[in-house]
Structure 1
Amino acid sequence: MDTKTIDQLLNRFETTGVVGEGNPRIKTIVRRLMRDLMIAMEELDITPEEFWAGLNYLGDAGRSGELGLIVPGTGLEHFLDLRMDEAEAKAGLKGGTPRTIEGPLYVAGAPVVQGEARLDDGNTPGEVVVMQGVVRGEDGKPLAGAKVEVWHANDVGNYSYFDKTQSDFNLRRTIVTDAQGRYKFRSVMPVGYSVPPGGATDRLLQQLGRHGHRPAHIHFFVTAPGHRKLTTQINLENDPHLWDDFAFGTREGLVPPIHTNTDRAAMQALGVAKPFYEIKFDFTLHADKDSVPATDFQRPRAAA
């Protein structure tokens, strides 16, 4: 079937059953995606069996809540980041902390703490880690009152709220920076995780000859008045999947060194009996700019 016939079919689609003007933007997007899909079906000779199997697969993935894993796993979420990087570069915004994927496991409403927080509920097993740093503007000046939203997995790779064995906001907090722009938190060292075995994402990745593993990481939203929202994560060095992340989330500049603190006085101050880990990481935010797409946008997110 040639493209002329496909275009005729799409014209019929747009002129049949019309009851109003509709949304011009949605109409343009749907027509383009439908046209590209039809051309791909023709060029790849996709059979009816393959088509309905793919459609049912997407339905299963939606019902199981795995579309949020498939999107990063296919590189689409990373592609959105690259498009935003390009838009900022064209607008003259350079430097700053690199962005990377949000993923599907953020939960709105985490407790707000001033300056310093403990993320775990006190009963969470794992090795202790203390992370701290400064939030700055692109001029290098500290940003007092910035919000550092942080969330990460526990020592077996599970996230609170979705894992009902944990309290809803375990390993989740919003930290407001102090007058010097500083934030600090104590938590337990996260580990990497894998997509649900046998689930929709796993089945797709197996067909592609790929694994579904993520390296250990810690997620952040960083915001401040007059500045662009930063969505990012740090990835923990020495993880076997650090540069082999199925979700394409690891980026240069987001792998800080991890120091082991063996100082007795420091251990005593934390109430721990063995050495703990320390991470130092500063965030740099771009100032607001009207000519660049917004980084604080709406998308479906969980809330507790």
Structure 2
Amino acid sequence: MTEQTAEAKATAAASGSSATLRFLADKQSAGTTSKERVNTLATEVITAVHDVIRRHKVSYEEYNALKGWLIQVGQDGEWPLFLDVWIEHVVEEVASERLQGSKGTIEGPYYVPDSPVLEATATLPMRDGEPGTPLLFQGQVTGVDGKVLPGAVLGIWHADDDGYYSQFAPAIPEWNLRGTVIADDDGRFAISTIQPAPYQIPTDGSCGTLIAAAGWHAWRPAHLHLKVSAPGCRPVTSQLYFTGDEHIEDDVATAVKPELILAPVPAADGDGKQVTYNFVLDPAE
């Protein structure tokens, strides 16, 4: 990985603020859940907390430490980071438990809609001399019935060779390593990019405080993010990982599934690596 200057380094505060603003702009919803459902879920969550307090004889000192930390999470803007790292993988598991097609996993806090639209054979936007190993990511999109899905849409984004995402760290062009690829008439795509690096989630904020206090690590294995969709099909959100990554087995976000691990081979043209991965979409419900 290349060295980042102090000015270019992402901070938890900046990343958290960006993730919070993005969520509020794109995904916040209200009034779609019944009072009965809210009552059930809220009551059970609160009751579960009560049970933990009783079983572990939580002291006022521990309670006040938790209270202060919860307040700090909000002040740091890190609720999207906390929820996406430690909670979302179970929500995704429940949401996709009956699907027959490609496995999905968490979206994470760094998705940005409306990235540049690219043809089926494309190179993601990147800086001149973008650091990292060149990677050709190719494949085909079909339905569970085996029929090709012409014009399938693949939103792709990932971290750079320093582990930073455009729009969530300074000194990186707006759409760096982000794109919306339209598959060809046979549902095929071929995307040239660089292989991303493993990275630590930001640790200089309240999530880092929790990690240090619990003796955890903050690492995520290197991964590509994908959102794949086609008319008449249920979209899938995925992360694809790379064999040999030391954090495949202990991802801080618990998002790795065996079906999502790629095994790149030397590129046919001798420049970097390539890998083929096919997506299979379930019919829309």
Q: Per the shorter chain, which TM-score range?
A: 0.7 to 0.9
CA distance in 2 between partners of 1:252 and 1:135 (Å):
20
Would you say 1:79 and 2:84 are equivalent positions?
no
CA distance in 1 between partners of 2:216 and 2:75 (Å):
23
Q: Aligned with 1:235: secondary structure?
A: strand
Cα RMSD, aligned residues only: 1.9
Q: How many Å apart are 1:72 and its aligned residue?
A: 4.3
Would you say 1:150 and 2:156 are equivalent positions?
yes
Q: Aligned with 2:220: secondary structure?
A: coil
Counterpart residue number, 1:101:
106
Would you say 1:282 and 2:266 are equivalent positions?
no
Q: How many Å apart are 1:197 and its aligned residue?
A: 3.0
Structure 2 letter corresponding to 1:33:
V
Counterpart residue number, 2:75:
63
Q: Deviations over 1:128-162 (max 9, x none)?
A: 11111101100111101111000000000000000
Q: Summarize the Cα distance change of 1:222–1:40 in structure 2 as closer, same or farther, 3 Å threshold.
A: same
Q: Aligned with 1:253: secondary structure?
A: helix
Percent identical pairs in the alignment equals 32
Which contiguous aligned blocks of 4+ residues in structure 1 show a shift greater than 4 angstroms?
none
Counterpart residue number, 1:125:
131
Structure 2 letter corresponding to 1:66:
E
Counterpart residue number, 1:202:
208
CA distance in 1 between partners of 2:258 and 2:44 (Å):
34
Q: Aligned with 2:41: secondary structure?
A: helix
CA distance in 1 between partners of 2:191 and 2:240 (Å):
14
Q: Summarize the Cα distance change of 1:244–1:40 in structure 2 as closer, same or farther, 3 Å threshold.
A: closer
Q: How many residues align?
A: 251
Q: Given that residues 135 and 193 in structure 2 are in contact (C-alpha distance below 8 angstroms), is that contact kept between their aligned partners in structure 1?
A: yes
Give unpaired runs (5+ residues) of structure 1. 1-21, 268-274, 290-304
Q: Given that residues 84 and 109 in structure 2 are in contact (C-alpha distance below 8 angstroms), is that contact kept between their aligned partners in structure 1?
A: no
CA distance in 2 between partners of 1:43 and 1:144 (Å):
55
CA distance in 2 between partners of 1:31 and 1:238 (Å):
43
CA distance in 2 between partners of 1:134 and 1:41 (Å):
50
Which is greater in Rg? 1
Counterpart residue number, 2:199:
193
Out of 178-187 and 109-118, give the one that drifted further.
Answer: 109-118
Q: How many Å apart are 1:57 and its aligned residue?
A: 0.9
Give unpaired runs (5+ residues) of structure 2. 1-33
Q: TM-score, normalised by structure 1?
A: 0.77
